[in-house]
Structure 1
Amino acid sequence: MGRWPEFLLFLCLIRVGELQEAVECCSNDVQANEDEQQELQDLELEAICPELSGQIIGGRPSSVARHPYQVSMVINGNSFCGGFIISRTHVMTAAHCVQNTSPGAIRLRVGSTRRDSGGRIVRVANVTVHPQYGRPEFDNDIAVLRLAQPLNFNAAVNAIRLPQPGDAVPLVRLTVTGWGLTAPRGRRIPRMMMEAQVPVVPHWLCRLSYGDALTNHMFCGGHFLIGGVSSCQGDSGGPAVFRGIAYGVVSFARGCALPLSPTVFTNIASLRDWVTQNAGV
């Protein structure tokens, strides 16, 4: 108990750092995207720099031209999850998106910024869920889908690289993409692809929130204390990317963009050997 005040002081210092980082985010975005100023001028501050807002989950409109690996998943006629292309023949997603689902019930839309039109619909031939998924809960939350026909790669359809086995997740901002809810209590998912910049939370710090539920096959992302930016329902199965490498799969969180409740991602590098065995990449 005697160290509790010191711990609170430490958390306060983290918060100051996060707030400074959020302000720098706005400044950097404005300077680095002069060619997008006309497009962004009608957006509110929260849309440009979501880390400063507690009312939205964060992010901004994106496109398949920026993220040609992104896939929208429809199961039994309903938009459900995301996924991402890892080869001409395989797509990766979260195990909880496809567990106990027959391949014939899944349709993937590739090559489109919209989740409900454009691009191409692709059928799935086989679903492979990690055999240890859910032991413990949400551990090994990863699956690969073998496509019925190989993809033809182009500017709007392409694979994302994966980390090497055992690679450490860099403590940077990862880009998360998808068509998930854009408000914590929202009821409608967007038609256009969104993206958000999610800072990686150190594993030891995230364990203060999730305890033993956070395994070595997971990592966390978000602003730990202030919240305000995260993935949400509908983003599950999508990628967390840095410099052209997908380090994580959107798995779960306690709510959406809440303080002390960052998003949890499946750590691809820790399960890389399984991916190679089942997808050949």
Structure 2
Amino acid sequence: MSPSKFFVCFLLIFVKSELVPELNTTQLQDMPLQDPESPEKDPKPSDFQFLITGGYRPKTNKLVKYVVSLRLGKSKKFFGDNHFCAGAIFSPRAILTAAHCLYSNRRKLMPKKLTVIAGTPKRLVKSGSTQIVQAQKLIPHPKYKKGKSQKYDIGIVLMKDDLDLGGSAASIPLYNKAPVAGVECSIVGWGTVIQFGPLPDEVINGDVKILPDSFCRKQLGWSNSGMLCANDQTNTEVDSCQGDSGGPLICDNKVTGIVSFGTGCGEPDSAGIYTDVYHFREWINENSCPRTIYPIRTLLILMLQLQLAFLARVTGVS
């Protein structure tokens, strides 16, 4: 762990015992951020609630509309406390995410256990633009092996209902070429401040660059088949972390990678590992369209209509 992150950990532990009991969830949501142009002040617990590993908040976040929060089960105490992964809106009915987000203890999740939250930058606040949609079908890549390998870490969530796409929620296209080193990208999500630290309320952005394979192959578990790695080499603390899994790596306003895994969060000489979306583009397109399941009665009627049409064509009867 780098010295700066050790300092953050120390402050979190030290200050929490003195101040955190006086704060409740509503206070943390409503607490304003410190103006970056104002004089420096001693850090408070609320400051860390709004930070991520090397992240920042733009005045106008143009990327958050593409990102959803995936929730597991029901909220235990308050809205948003069951966030566990993120995803990218690929179509009104399909969410692109990591395959490992569709499993729990090596067992595939039941769709009824997963809910998609779209249209809001705040994890803990349900607003007028918040959309809550139940998952209908979970599709991890068939070659993904939970607990055995990080390869093929890509999946799709098909929802019961379409998202209302507009200003607060929008679909993002796939990167249309093989990504190369040096491309500037952004990660967006509600991942932890530091490894195993607290989750932020409002979504955080981080800027990184895709790295060459020569660097990536030094990362434990990386493969040049279907994986990318990226970081900010001027500030290695910029990184995705727990809670960012499944979220998009966005380059040129296209989803280029899916947050997959890494060694720690923002460690020196390390990088985040992302599933290469372009590598899996055909699989994504083939599986992201919900297939209509017809009742048996409807299928019999359709078959009868086709048979009658065939007979009419053969006999020349109109």
**When the two structures are superposed, what TM-score results if normalisation uses the length of structure 1?**
0.76
Instruction: Confirm or deny that 1:201 pairs with 2:211.
Output: yes
Equivalents in 1 of 2:267, 2:161: separation in Å?
A: 41
- The more displaced of 200-209 and 92-101 is 200-209
Aligned pair partner of 2:249 in 240, 243, 260: 240
Give the deviation of 1:121 after TM superposition: 0.9
Give the deviation of 1:277 after TM superposition: 0.8
SS of 2:64 mapped into structure 1: coil
Contiguous gaps of at least 5 residues in structure 1 = 1-37, 45-54
Give the deviation of 1:56 after TM superposition: 6.5
Q: Letter of the aligned partner of 2:121 in structure 1? A: T
Equivalents in 2 of 1:225, 1:170: separation in Å?
A: 15
Give the deviation of 1:244 after TM superposition: 1.0
2:144 aligned partner: 133
Inter-CA distance 40–160: structure 2 relative to 1 (3 Å threshold): farther
Inter-CA distance 42–277: structure 2 relative to 1 (3 Å threshold): farther
Instruction: Confirm or deny that 1:172 pairs with 2:172.
Output: no
In the alignment, is the contact (CA less than 8 A) between 2:210 and 2:230 conserved in 1?
A: yes
2:159 aligned partner: 147
In the alignment, is the contact (CA less than 8 A) between 1:81 and 1:235 conserved in 2?
A: yes
Equivalents in 2 of 1:41, 1:102: separation in Å?
A: 48
1:59 aligned partner: 55
Equivalents in 2 of 1:139, 1:276: separation in Å?
A: 19
Equivalents in 1 of 2:56, 2:259: separation in Å?
A: 18
Equivalents in 2 of 1:43, 1:270: separation in Å?
A: 47
Equivalents in 2 of 1:248, 1:203: separation in Å?
A: 15
Equivalents in 2 of 1:39, 1:204: separation in Å?
A: 40
Q: Letter of the aligned partner of 2:171 in structure 1? A: A
Equivalents in 2 of 1:108, 1:56: separation in Å?
A: 22
Aligned pair partner of 1:160 in 160, 172, 177: 172
Equivalents in 2 of 1:80, 1:241: separation in Å?
A: 20
Aligned pair partner of 2:37 in 28, 41, 44: 41
Contiguous gaps of at least 5 residues in structure 2 = 1-33, 41-50, 75-81, 291-318
SS of 1:138 mapped into structure 2: coil
Aligned pair partner of 1:275 in 269, 284, 304: 284
In the alignment, is the contact (CA less than 8 A) between 1:225 and 1:260 conserved in 2?
A: no
Equivalents in 2 of 1:106, 1:275: separation in Å?
A: 20
1:123 aligned partner: 134
Inter-CA distance 64–89: structure 2 relative to 1 (3 Å threshold): farther
Inter-CA distance 65–220: structure 2 relative to 1 (3 Å threshold): closer
C-alpha RMSD over aligned residues: 2.4
Inter-CA distance 280–56: structure 2 relative to 1 (3 Å threshold): closer
SS of 1:227 mapped into structure 2: coil
Q: Letter of the aligned partner of 1:115 in structure 2? A: R
Inter-CA distance 204–280: structure 2 relative to 1 (3 Å threshold): farther
Inter-CA distance 133–225: structure 2 relative to 1 (3 Å threshold): farther
Aligned length: 231
Instruction: Confirm or deny that 1:218 pairs with 2:218.
Output: no
1:32 aligned partner: none
SS of 1:60 mapped into structure 2: coil
2:304 aligned partner: none
Instruction: Confirm or deny that 1:76 pairs with 2:37.
Output: no
Aligned pair partner of 1:85 in 61, 85, 89: 89
Off by >6 Å, runs of 4+ in structure 1: none
In the alignment, is the contact (CA less than 8 A) between 1:137 and 1:213 conserved in 2?
A: no
2:27 aligned partner: none
